[in-house]
Amino acid sequence: MSPSPKVANSAKKWEIVQGAARFKTPHSSTATAGDFMFIGISALTLDGKGRMTVPARHRDLLMARSQGRLTLTKSPDGCLLMFSDDEWTSFRDRVMQLPMSAQGWKRIYLGHATETEMDGAGRVLISPELRQAVGLEREVDLIGMGRHFEIWDRAKHQAQEAAVIEAGMPDAVRDIVL
């Protein structure tokens, strides 16, 4: 006899929490919690408290990787970087190895870092300080960048992307693109 849908759903959620489940998203190949890649762009809206709802296609994997614990920090590109807890630890350790001549870069990445958690509805609170630091208004773009995300003010992202296209494709990119 097969389990009821409710029992089956509960078992599936438990597998995800244990990190044993396999994930299939519309934007990536099947991946386990240890083998993953965040890709794609999501147009989102911050609520009145500065919270962003993480798209469902990324939520389960973020829960499996770090129980929803995330770190946000400022990027010198004018956006925020969002890391799962384990990816942040790896990034932080690499930043800590930078020489004293890069102290200013340590200050940017580590000094602006804020730990947060996804709530039960999959929302992430972005602190007022971080929103102000990169000019996040209400409309934002969440961009999967492989092992982390970028969070951009939508208008700023569109302008930045247009500038990249206007500058032309560098040879290094042209060599790998069809």
For the chain, the domains span 36-168
Q: 62 Cβ partners below 8 Å, 6+ apart?
A: 54, 68, 70, 84, 118
Specify the CATH number for 36-168; select among 3.40.1550.20, 3.40.800.20, 3.30.70.600, 3.40.50.2000: 3.40.1550.20
Q: ∠ CA(124), CA(64), CA(125), 5° rounding?
A: 5
Residue-by-residue pLDDT tens, the chain, 178 positions: 555 555 444 444 434 433 333 333 444 433 444 567 899 999 999 999 999 999 999 998 899 888 999 999 999 999 999 999 999 999 999 999 999 999 999 999 999 999 999 999 999 999 999 999 999 999 999 999 999 999 999 999 999 999 999 999 888 888 887 6
Q: Taking the model in full, what pTM does it have?
A: 0.79
How many Cα atoms within 13 Å fall on the side-chain side of residue 7?
A: 4
- How many Cβ atoms are within 10 Å of 54's Cβ, its own excluded? 23
> What's the pLDDT at 173?
87
